[in-house]
């Protein structure tokens, strides 16, 4: 099978990472000084958090970095104990010729409070021989004792100019033709998320090397997760906690941003079989939350407050 583009076009050096300039500069300086703190990379999906962790590993350890670099996903269904065991096995063998090993724990905000407490103890136990890089979408979901041990870096959605550069590279290497209107659609649908952008583009290109706006929309509407509908129906039945948990899981799994979700929720509300007055109220709630998201509030907090409004409504 042909290579997946998000890997094919993943930056391998600090210089190749687009945007996030001040973060890249600071992290690079830390790596060069040999004095690396524990770090927390926070920000929306597909903006370079995992990529930067891998760049750090390569800069510290070279191409054979996997010997000294462990990558884990906190939303691993097997739970925190498996994660801790894996960390223990990895950390207890000292790195050969390196001052410390690096453990990258992705989606740390998927861990429960208890699991985060356990993680904090693990970080303490191995802090002389390892450095942790944690990544999360929402730093508000990370416990203070972990936050206080890490240097926090807040990643931003990438800008249009970065997507334009990326598109030029990909177009050339893959032999694509992309209409101007398709380019606009790709950018607006991906909300600053490069993973999403590259995935949509690759799906389009598997259908046709000439990419039009219509093709982009056709591909994207097929990718809408059905779980969002379930989140709404749970919330409307008053199952706030269940709705919130499913929402978080769905957002992490599909790499959805807050605005992605809100747009889809609004769409689904219109299709609900409830009376019109209620519908109007729910659509208004969506609008209010959308506005707060655009103003830069914490996405997950805002979406939860929307679900709370929905739960009250029933």
The reply on whether position 198 binds ligand ADP by CB under 6 A is: yes
3-class DSSP state of 153: strand
CB count within 10 Å of CB 302 equals 19
> How big is the CA angle at 226 (ends 221 and 231), to the nearest 5 degrees?
130
The reply on whether position 110 binds ligand ADP by CB under 6 A is: no
> Hey, which residues between 1 and 20 contact ligand ADP (CB under 6 A)?
6-7, 9-11, 17-20
Which partner from the list ligand ADP, Mg ion, none does 20 bind, CB cut-off 5 to 8 Å by kind? ligand ADP
CA-based end-to-end distance of the chain: 48
Of the pair 193, 290, the CB lying nearest ligand ADP is at: 193
Of the pair 7, 180, the CB lying nearest ligand ADP is at: 7
To Mg ion, the closest distance from the beta carbon of 136 in angstroms equals 10
110/51 Cα distance (integer angstroms): 19
The reply on whether position 199 binds ligand ADP by CB under 6 A is: no
Question: Exactly one of 194, 211, 247, 252 binds ligand ADP (CB under 6 A); which one?
Answer: 194
83/86 Cα distance (integer angstroms): 5
The reply on whether position 130 binds ligand ADP by CB under 6 A is: no
Of the pair 39, 215, the CB lying nearest Mg ion is at: 39
The helix/strand count (H/E) of the chain reads as 15, 7
Question: Exactly one of 23, 36, 47, 178 binds ligand ADP (CB under 6 A); which one?
Answer: 47
204/215 Cα distance (integer angstroms): 7
The reply on whether position 87 binds ligand ADP by CB under 6 A is: no
């Amino acid at each position: 099978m042909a290579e997946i583009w998000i890997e094919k076009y993943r930056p391998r050096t600090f210089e190749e990472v687009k945007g996030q300039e001040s973060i890249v500069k600071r992290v690079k300086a830390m790596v060069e000084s040999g004095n690396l703190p524990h770090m927390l990379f926070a920000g929306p999906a597909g903006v370079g958090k995992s990529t930067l962790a891998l760049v750090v590993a390569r800069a510290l350890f070279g191409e054979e970095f996997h010997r000294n670099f462990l990558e884990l996903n906190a939303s691993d269904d097997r739970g925190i104990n498996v994660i801790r065991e894996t960390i223990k096995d990895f950390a207890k063998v000292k790195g050969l010729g390196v001052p410390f090993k690096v453990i990258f724990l992705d989606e740390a905000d998927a861990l429960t409070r208890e699991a985060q407490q356990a993680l904090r103890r693990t970080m303490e136990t191995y802090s002389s021989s390892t450095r942790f890089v944690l990544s999360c979408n929402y730093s508000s979901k990370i416990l203070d004792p972990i936050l206080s041990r890490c240097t926090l870096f807040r990643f931003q959605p990438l800008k249009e100019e970065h997507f334009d550069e990326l598109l030029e590279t990909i177009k050339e290497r893959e032999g694509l033709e992309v209409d101007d209107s398709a380019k606009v659609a790709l950018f607006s649908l991906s909300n600053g998320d490069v993973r999403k952008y590259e995935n949509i583009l690759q799906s389009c290109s598997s259908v046709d090397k000439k990419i039009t706006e219509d093709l982009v929309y056709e591909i994207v509407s097929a990718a809408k997760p059905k779980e969002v509908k379930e989140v709404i129906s749970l919330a409307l039945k008053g199952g706030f906690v269940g709705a919130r948990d499913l929402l978080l899981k769905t957002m992490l799994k599909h790499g959805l941003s807050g605005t992605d979700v809100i747009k889809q929720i609004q769409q689904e509300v219109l299709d609900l079989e409830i009376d019109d007055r209620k519908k109007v109220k729910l659509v208004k709630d969506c609008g209010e939350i959308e506005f707060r998201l655009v103003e830069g509030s914490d996405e997950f907090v805002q979406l939860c407050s929307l679900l709370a409004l929905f739960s009250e409504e029933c």
